[in-house]
Structure 1
Amino acid sequence: MSPRARTGAADAPAPRTSGSTAAAIGAKDAAPTTPAPRGRRPRDEAGGPVNRALDVLDLLGTPGGPSSLGVVEIARQLGRDKSQVSRLLKLLADAGYVDREPGSLRYRIGTRLFAIGATAVERRLRDEADAAVAREAALLGERVDVGIRSGGSVMTIASAAPDSELRAAGWVGRTGPLSCTATGRALLFDLDTAAIARVIVPEGLGPAGPAAPRSLDELVSRVADERRRGWALARHETDRGLLSLGAPVRDSSGAVVAALGVSGPESRVDPVLDEVRAAVLRAAYDLSRSLGAGAVSSAGRATARAGPPGQNNEVSPLSTPPAPERGAS
């Protein structure tokens, strides 16, 4: 549609200026040749090429959708001209935001977007983790940590202790074994036996207390049991008398990216273990939601039924599992 038709001035020639020329080109480029399919509404045309690029990226990144799409299919789903979509995809590919499959005209989300997404999650995690540990430490009266996997270890990225205890700032940056800490084993919930072996074997099980796993098979078995119930419990595994409980933190894809845990003397934590467990699961759930996690099962599979703790029957790090086994280690 020409600028004259859009403004209603059908008999007046369009002004011969660079602005009018740009407007005419933009209007021609923006006009879809086919209507967009029902259920997908392209963004307002006021955003021009930027919004059209976002539409393409949204389509390629649709959860549960195909890993790649061809130019014709993208144009059809967005109600755009094929040549327009082809030009846009080339620009996005040159910038690294989409990748073209070798030997075809199919495109998928590019590695640059993955890198940007990972950076965003990492920054958001650290910001949200600081607030979460401070809140839970004040509530529970014990030290609360958030850790991430670093090789075969768990590294603390946020830590807080109640005012009556020694401040926990010195814990940030420390590492510990994945095998014998509650947060460490929660970080393994996404991994199968072979993957756990690849992580653990190069560095070994590490120094441990009297109740820690003594072999890879024992570790795998313990992780499997804890994965099913959605939380990890370590009793006398790093030091005699120390009890810790941890749950996984997930991102928008459902992948475990961190773990939140509480640790303290068994004499204090054990009598209120049910309350501590509920608080840890709730805090891990809230932290996961802040990272864009929806409803995911303890094995990382999406489920529409999962909700805040206590709202469904599925054992999940985002829901309340059965009562803890006090004899577990």
Structure 2
Amino acid sequence: MREKVPMPSAGLRRDMEILEVLAGHGDPANADGFGVSWIAGRLGRETSQVSRALRALELEGMVERDSITRRYRLGWRLFALAARTQHTRLVRMATPYVRRLAAHFDEDAYLCVLRGNMVVTLQSVPSSRAYHRVWEGVSIPVIMAAAGRSLLADWDEDRVRELLRAGLPAGLDSAVASEDDWLAGLAHVRSAGYAISDVELEDSQAGVSAPVRDHRGLIAAAISVSVTRPTPPERLHEMGAIMAKEARDLSAALGLPATGRPVAFGPQEGKDD
């Protein structure tokens, strides 16, 4: 006996039509939203019916109304769900890469994203050693994060200088590298695909990171490793090349065509002599 397919809810379908109208008209000139009459006219429906639907959607956070213009736009809950979905996919796709780096270097490895001027850790994978600080969900200023240079690699110089000159949050005494050092670090990320930086908030010798790009070519995240043991500069650059390769492969998995010459893991790389 064929299973009966449930019919879609007419009310849900009408609500979805409203959301699609609001989502499909992103004209900057109408950034403050759209009025009830305009939405109703677009859908060919009664203004009173659309008004009731919008009020119900507003209560659920699916749309929001400007208190001055009284116009509607997509609400916070839709954007929160979209961001959560994006991060869920990012963490899922990045997990094998972050784990591989942690195991290969025997150092803590991280997946980080930029939120405003802060770096948020989405995932941390520990080394084999006993102590490991859990960083998931922790935010730190981007200028003090090991992944900072990778996440800001596409910023223009003026914007970076403005950020650096804003200073550190009150109570943080760590020194930040000079503007010229920072700009040189960003240039190195753009040319070599990885960054090497001091790590002010951890008992680490250095941090090595690389930017991860999405299908549009925009930096979506950074993978990072904290180097806790004394390591010569040449070895840090070897680690950076491996990080860059992993970041390129992850970017390709996220939809960006992979480019550049692969850097293979050597049989003893990342091990102490």
Candidates 240, 257, 263, aligned match of 1:308: 257
Equivalent residue number for residue 65 of structure 2: 100
Equivalent residue number for residue 12 of structure 2: 50
Equivalent residue number for residue 76 of structure 2: 111
- Cα distance change, pair 133–196 in 1 and its aligned pair in 2 (3 A): same
Distance 2:93 2:134 in 1: 15
Equivalent residue number for residue 245 of structure 1: 209
> Where in structure 2 are the equivalents of 1:109-188 lying within 5 Å?
109-121=74-86, 125-126=90-91, 128-137=93-102, 141=105, 143=107, 144-148=109-113, 154=119, 156-160=121-125, 166-167=128-129, 170-173=132-135, 178-179=142-143, 182-188=146-152
2:49 is aligned with 1:84: yes
Deviations 1:160-195 (A, max 9, x none): 36xxx6258814328877436541223345762476
Q: Counterpart amino acid of 1:281?
A: R
Structure 2 contact 189–195 (Cα < 8 Å) conserved:
no
Distance 2:46 2:7 in 1: 14
Equivalent residue number for residue 283 of structure 1: 250
Structure 1 contact 159–169 (Cα < 8 Å) conserved:
no
RMSD of equivalent CA atoms = 4.6
Larger radius of gyration: 1
Structure 2 contact 113–122 (Cα < 8 Å) conserved:
yes
Equivalent residue number for residue 196 of structure 2: 234
2:223 is aligned with 1:260: yes
Which secondary structure does the structure 2 equivalent of 1:214 belong to? Answer: coil
Distance 1:118 1:50 in 2: 23
> Where in structure 2 are the equivalents of 1:53-64 lying within 5 Å?
53-62=15-24, 64=26
Distance 1:104 1:75 in 2: 17
- Cα distance change, pair 103–280 in 1 and its aligned pair in 2 (3 A): closer
Equivalent residue number for residue 3 of structure 2: none
- Cα distance change, pair 90–152 in 1 and its aligned pair in 2 (3 A): closer
Q: Counterpart amino acid of 1:60?
A: L
Shift of 1:278: 2.2
Shift of 1:57: 1.7
TM-score w.r.t. the length of structure 1 is 0.53
Distance 2:117 2:244 in 1: 25
Distance 2:62 2:190 in 1: 37
Which secondary structure does the structure 1 equivalent of 2:257 belong to? Answer: coil
Shift of 1:279: 1.6
Structure 1 contact 186–227 (Cα < 8 Å) conserved:
yes
TM-score w.r.t. the length of structure 2 is 0.62
Structure 1 contact 153–175 (Cα < 8 Å) conserved:
yes
Distance 2:152 2:213 in 1: 11
Distance 1:200 1:250 in 2: 30
Structure 2 contact 194–241 (Cα < 8 Å) conserved:
no
Distance 2:160 2:55 in 1: 41
Equivalent residue number for residue 270 of structure 2: none
- Cα distance change, pair 243–91 in 1 and its aligned pair in 2 (3 A): closer
Structure 1 contact 260–284 (Cα < 8 Å) conserved:
no
Deviations 1:25-82 (A, max 9, x none): xxxxxxxxxxxxxxxxxxx983311122122223322384443223343334444444
Distance 1:51 1:277 in 2: 46
Structure 1 contact 259–284 (Cα < 8 Å) conserved:
no
> Where in structure 2 are the equivalents of 1:187-206 lying within 5 Å?
187-189=151-153, 192-193=159-160, 196-197=163-164, 200-203=167-170
Structure 1 contact 196–220 (Cα < 8 Å) conserved:
no
Give the percent of matched residue pairs that are identical in Structure 1 and Structure 2.
27
Q: Counterpart amino acid of 2:147?
A: T
Deviations 1:135-173 (A, max 9, x none): 4545x5564321356897756442336xxx625881432
Q: Counterpart amino acid of 1:261?
A: S
Structure 2 contact 197–208 (Cα < 8 Å) conserved:
yes
Shift of 1:233: 1.0
Give the paired residue count.
Answer: 241
Structure 2 contact 195–208 (Cα < 8 Å) conserved:
yes
Distance 1:113 1:242 in 2: 39
Shift of 1:108: 0.7
Distance 2:119 2:208 in 1: 14
Distance 1:233 1:205 in 2: 23
2:180 is aligned with 1:218: yes
Greater relative CO, 1 or 2 (CA 8 Å, sep 6+): 2
**Structure 2: tracts of 5 or more residues without a match:** 1-5, 264-273
